[in-house]
Amino acid sequence: MAAAEEVSYEGLVSESLYRPLRNGNAFEDTVARLLQTIRLGLVAPGEALPPERDLASRFSVSRDTVREAIRSLSEAGFLASRRGRYGGTFVSDPIPVPGDFERGDVAAPAPTPAEIDDVLGLREILEMGAARAAANRSLSAAERDMLWTRLRETAGASATDYRRLDSRLHLAIAEVVGTPSLVTLIADNRTAVNDLLDHIPLITRNIEHSNEQHEAIIVAILTGDENRAAAATLEHLAGSAALLRGFLG
């Protein structure tokens, strides 16, 4: 029986999905990879995920990271844990569909992969450029204080206010560049980003990680390290992109 289960288990596993993660967004990428596994049907509704220790080994992340990812997906309704002899982590039946997390009276249609790629691709170009340009400027005391203020506001935001204050922080970076048309472009893009974010749940660990990344971006800007500002921004955006593509892809 055990041998048959092992063969079945190996038959479900795709090496392209259960492979090591390679960037600084271990939590977000673990969530995205698990979602991809679920959405592609490699682990069907009602079936069990591999054990935490196996997932940690395959993804080359800590068991704590896997555990946090599973907890977040359980809170979002994708997974359910069972105790006992036949316990484990099981894919929910049915699983949520894009749009289930939409806030408001009317759920908007789920975005297409092409729409997601367009919004996120433009975001990367605009925000990496803004961070690099901001770090390259000699900022006034008022501008530096504004960045610190926006950073503190976002770090202390409630779940209800987080996305609004997160948007203000990103726009503040564009503002200190001193190019009004850039602010307009980033504001329009951020509106589209928030429309995508409204389709997925807020995840506490992702907020904590984002706040750490925000601080790294602001410190790099204020110390004039344009390469680090761009790199920290890219890492931050990659984490959000992984979650969006994981939930909506």
Domain boundaries, the chain: 14-91, 113-248
Structurally, at CATH architecture level, domain 14-91 sits in Orthogonal Bundle (1.10)
Q: What size, in residues, is the chain?
A: 249
User: What's CA 146's distance to the chain center, in Å?
Assistant: 26
Taking only the tens place, the pLDDT of each residue in 43-90 is 888 889 999 999 999 899 999 999 999 999 999 899 998 887 777 899
Rounded distance between C-alpha atoms, residue 209 and residue 194, angstroms: 18
Q: Is residue 245 predicted with pLDDT exceeding 90?
A: yes
Taking only the tens place, the pLDDT of each residue in 2-57 is 333 333 334 434 455 677 777 689 999 999 989 888 876 678 888 899 999 999 99
Q: What's the alpha-carbon Rg for the chain, to the nearest Å?
A: 20
Give me the residues paired with residue 79 across strands.
Answer: 91
Q: Is residue 199 predicted with pLDDT exceeding 80?
A: yes
For 25, the token pair is 């967004």
Supply φ then ψ for residue 58, to 5 degrees.
Answer: -65, -40
Least confident of 162-166, 221-225, 227-231: 162-166
Please give the CATH topology (third level) of the domain spanning 113-248. Answer: Four Helix Bundle (Hemerythrin (Met), subunit A) (1.20.120)
Please, which pLDDT band fits residue 98 given cuts at 50, 70 and 90? low
> Please, what's the largest Cα pairwise distance for the chain?
70
Distances (CA, A) of 5 to 48, 50, 91, 239: 12, 12, 17, 35
Predicted local confidence at residue 3, as pLDDT? 37
Predicted local confidence at residue 16, as pLDDT? 57
